[in-house]
Amino acid sequence: MSKKPLILVTNDDGINASGIRTLIAIMKTIGDVIVVAPDSPQSGMGHAITLDSTLYAEELTFKKGTHKEYSCSGTPADCVKLAIRQLTDRTPDLCVSGINHGSNSSINVIYSGTMSAAIEAGIEGIPAIGFSLLNYKWNAKFDACEPYVKTITENVLAKGLPNGVVLNVNIPDIQGIDIRGIKICRQARANWVEEFDKRINPQGKDYYWLTGKFVNLDEGEDTDEWALANNFVSVVPVQFDLTAHHYIKNLKNWNL
């Protein structure tokens, strides 16, 4: 049995996306790799799982001899569940998700399929990291991400993460020589101000396109949004315990 760490690689942009191909190449320099990723883009799926239809995972045979890859019909969270329960012969030592085409900073973490895959691994007790590049283009260049992805991955493998915590890493879309370093941050208080563009189809039926504007309401210099705006890689430790612990005492004073 290999003494190298087993690294599960997944994403939400689909198994053929440039971001995951870059991530696979980086992870192969660190450990043994297994890839289980959606067969089509699943951006914005959040932590959705498949309950009312069958799941398929097709092994991509052209990759045999180097590492195993599976194209999965499900969501990013499905991919992680299936990988752990069915497709690996040992529990992964690490799960990495991405590299996402576009930001997953601040409130975007709630909607992100990339981060939901990482969180699913975290729920299973596997250290996990979600990586994103602030470029939504399909042909985005990911070269500048490599040293930061590798450094953060190697640190997680060496030091581990607490139970219930995963890392959300966002990388500015600039050349590597211009990135000023890595900042440990908190999630900025920001949100989308959303609108729906109403249109009518040729049959006369109304339909809608979701549009919106991202608004950063946080002026703190310790946030992911500040770090990214100032050309730093942001690293936010994310917990999936959604309890508002600070409010429990107040709630107990209610007349319930």
Domains of the chain plus CATH, in order, are 6-188+219-252 (3.40.1210.10)
Taking each helix axis as running N to C, give the angle between helix 146-159 and helix 18-27, from 0 to 180 degrees, rounded to the nearest 10. Answer: 50
Q: Say whether 13 sits in a helix, a strand or coil.
A: coil
In the chain, DSSP assigns E strands to 6-10, 32-38, 57-59, 68-72, 94-101, 128-133, 165-171, 182-184, 190-200, 206-216, 233-239
Q: State the pLDDT confidence band at 243, using cuts at 50, 70 and 90.
A: very high
For 152-162, write each residue's pLDDT tens digit.
999 999 999 99
User: pLDDT averaged over the chain?
Assistant: 92
> Does 64 have pLDDT greater than 60?
no
> Does 144 have pLDDT greater than 80?
yes
> Does 49 have pLDDT greater than 70?
yes
pLDDT for the residue 80: 97
Mean pLDDT of 138-161: 95
Residue closest to 92 by CA, chosen among 130, 118, 60, 58: 118
Q: State the pLDDT confidence band at 194, using cuts at 50, 70 and 90.
A: confident
**DSSP secondary structure of 83-146:** IIIII-SS--SEEEEEEEES---TTHHHH-HHHHHHHHHHHTT--EEEEEES---TT---GGGH
Token pair, residue 29, equals 């320099």
Q: State the pLDDT confidence band at 62, using cuts at 50, 70 and 90.
A: low
pLDDT for the residue 217: 83
For 76-112, write each residue's pLDDT tens digit.
999 999 999 999 989 999 999 999 999 999 999 999 9
> Does 24 have pLDDT greater than 80?
yes
Which region among 4-13, 63-72, 146-155 has the lowest average model confidence (pLDDT)?
63-72
Tell me, what amino acid is at 182? I
Mean pLDDT of 13-41: 95
Place of tokens 């590299």: 99
pLDDT for the residue 61: 74
Mean pLDDT of 216-220: 85
pLDDT for the residue 2: 63
Place of tokens 């590492």: 67
Q: State the pLDDT confidence band at 192, using cuts at 50, 70 and 90.
A: confident
CA angle, 175 then 21 then 182, to 5°: 40
Q: State the pLDDT confidence band at 218, using cuts at 50, 70 and 90.
A: confident
Percent helix, percent strand, percent coil in the chain, to nearest 5? 30, 30, 40
Answer yes or no: pTM beyond 0.85: yes
Tell me, what amino acid is at 102? G
